[in-house]
Amino acid sequence: QVQLVESGGGLVQAGGSLRLSCAASGSTFNRHVMGWFRQAPGKERDIVAAINWRVGSTYYADSVKGRFTISRDSAKSTVNLQMNGLKPEDTAVYYCAVGRGVYYSGNYFKAEEYDYWGQGTQVTVSS
């Protein structure tokens, strides 16, 4: 019902920047949350950032505060993640997600609260 197409991943040196984008299509929602999660080999899928689509409030994992910025473009149904000051520990597969229940639950950092997921895009930060 909802399709998410991610772009922008790649290889970058430590200290560099990348911008990830996720375009949504299909069902239209009024109240929902879009988020970015990441998963490194052998690790759990963890929150990176999330945004309340209706009001634009944002939420960030402590590890990325001050370096990453999540934003939305409502006209394009797109969520972006600007990543600056990248570190090797940021290396992971990054997933875009949409949740409806999470809008009401407020559990922005729980992957289980999201309903739709993109295919993932690899971000690799070299030392």
Q: Residue 105 to residues 6, 35, 94, 102: CA-CA distances in angstroms?
A: 26, 14, 23, 5
Question: What was the pLDDT predicted at 27?
Answer: 86
SS3 70: strand
CA gap 80, 59 in Å, rounded: 13
Q: Residue 6's pLDDT band (boundaries 50, 70, 90)?
A: very high
Helices (H), the chain: 101-105
CA gap 56, 28 in Å, rounded: 17
Mean pLDDT to the nearest integer, 64-86: 96
The yes-or-no verdict on residue 59 having pLDDT over 90 is yes
Q: Residue 57 to residues 53, 83, 126: CA-CA distances in angstroms?
A: 8, 18, 32
